[in-house]
Copies of this chain bind each other. A is one copy, B any other.
Amino acid sequence: MTAGQPQPSMRSVERAFDVIEVLERSDKPLRLSEVARRAGLSPATTLRLLGVLQRRGFVVAGQQAYHLGPAALAIAHGFLVTDGLSRAATPVLQELAATTGLTTTLHIRSGLERIVIARVDGADPLRYQLPIGRRLPLHLGAGKVLAAAMPDDELDALMAAVRDLGTAGGKPVSEADLRAELEQIRERGYHFSMNERVLGSSGISAPVPAPDGHSMASVGISGPAERHPESEMLGWVPELRRAAAALGRARDL
């Protein structure tokens, strides 16, 4: 079960997921040639892969262009049904949203990004559309508590992968700045952010504890920055920790 050193790979399978990822990251349907270009594959190979994906329902070919198919929803459903953390999330987030009046969100780290797993809007909803499943960066906002829990080699990979570490507020951030901030987060056990990923938004987040210390999940609460000053947010830290602990317990159920 532990990661072996040589990491046996399977080129064609890997490429199939490259194609899926290209489609996932595009906000509109893509033509064959465009998929091939973005995935770095030959048109012939891309066509064959798309054919398989299409028969599996992961890709749908509209007139002139491909996009993701409904099987994507089916596996998401499978994930939500099996995953202990997701199943535990809704009630815990609801309670946290009710007591704080803020929007609560649960993220899981996946590779060098995080994914929104669950979310409950507070009384004061900052709503953007359908955020569940959205991929977000690890170096901004609530992502930092996940970055803070990464093993060194993965953290190095993250630093190498991200071009611009600066915030939405326009503040430039060096690698050293970020590393120092992560160290703080490790000590304090939470993170307060403001104007980091989204302008005008602030929030606090905490890791969901994991047995091995490398937490893969975080809970956060957030709201409009001008209406919820830092002092108020910090007051919620104990509640946030309680929720994080509850989720940690529920995880391996």
Interface residues, chain A, with chain B CB atoms under 8 Å away: 1, 4, 7-10, 12-14, 16-17, 20, 23-29, 48-49, 51-52, 55-58, 60-64, 67-83, 108, 110-111, 115-117, 130-135, 252
CB distance from A209 to the nearest CB of B (A): 16
Q: Which residues of B contact A74 (CB under 8 A)?
A: 24, 110, 115, 133-135
Q: Which residues of B contact A130 (CB under 8 A)?
A: 77, 80-81
Within 8 Å by CB of A78, from B10, B25, B81, lies B25
Question: Taking each of A8, A9, A13, which has the highest tally of chain B beta carbons within 10 Å of its own beta carbon?
Answer: A13
CB distance from A146 to the nearest CB of B (A): 12
Q: Which residues of B contact A71 (CB under 8 A)?
A: 110, 115
Whether B10 lies near A70 (C-beta < 8 A) is no
Q: Which residues of B contact A52 (CB under 8 A)?
A: 9-10, 13-14, 17
Q: Which residues of B contact A115 (CB under 8 A)?
A: 57, 70-71, 73-74
Q: Which residues of B contact A134 (CB under 8 A)?
A: 74, 77
Q: Which residues of B contact A27 (CB under 8 A)?
A: 81-82
Complex: A4 Cα to B54 Cα, angstroms: 13
CB distance from A20 to the nearest CB of B (A): 6
Complex: A1 Cα to B13 Cα, angstroms: 22
Within 8 Å by CB of A26, from B1, B49, B62, B82, lies B82
Complex: A23 Cα to B82 Cα, angstroms: 9
Q: List 25 A-B contacts (CB under 8 A).
A: A1-B61, A1-B64, A7-B55, A10-B12, A10-B48, A14-B52, A16-B16, A20-B75, A24-B75, A24-B78, A26-B82, A29-B82, A60-B83, A67-B79, A68-B78, A69-B110, A70-B115, A73-B76, A73-B80, A73-B115, A74-B115, A77-B131, A77-B132, A77-B134, A80-B133
Whether B12 lies near A51 (C-beta < 8 A) is no
A-B interface, 4 closest residue pairs, ranked by CB to CB distance from nearest:
A77-B133, A76-B76, A24-B78, A57-B110
Complex: A73 Cα to B79 Cα, angstroms: 8
Whether A132 lies near B1 (C-beta < 8 A) is no
Q: Which residues of B contact A26 (CB under 8 A)?
A: 82
Complex: A68 Cα to B81 Cα, angstroms: 10
Known: A7-B51, A71-B115. 9 other contacts (CB 8 A): A1-B64, A8-B51, A29-B82, A68-B78, A72-B75, A74-B110, A75-B133, A80-B130, A80-B133
